[in-house]
Amino acid sequence: SGGTLGVERRLRAIRAIIDNEADILSDDAIAGLLKQRGFDCARRTVVKYREAMGIGSSVQRRRQRKIAGAA
């Protein structure tokens, strides 16, 4: 179930979830959403892929959003 294709699909799914989050989601919540969509993905796997894509943690994304909203 791994393989390059599986990784690509997971990366796209994580990116889509984060790009469309109304409220900032924790890595745990993202892992839960991936499971609902048929991906078997642990929280630490979400962390690894999120960091590989250069996407900040939920705390960092929340801070960025607050700064963007204030500007």
Q: What angle do CA 18, 63, 53 make, to 5 degrees?
A: 40
26: CB partners within 8 A, 6+ apart: 58
User: Is the CB of residue 45 less than 8 Å from the CB of residue 32?
Assistant: no
What is the per-residue pLDDT for 70?
A: 81
pLDDT(5) > 60: yes
d(CA 2, CA 20): 25
Taking residue 14's Cβ as centre, other Cβ atoms within 10 Å add up to 24
Q: How far apart are CA 46 and CA 52, in angstroms?
A: 10
What pLDDT is recorded for position 2? 58
The pTM assigned to this predicted structure is 0.88
pLDDT, one tens digit per residue, over 20-61 is 999 999 999 999 999 999 999 999 999 999 999 999 999 999
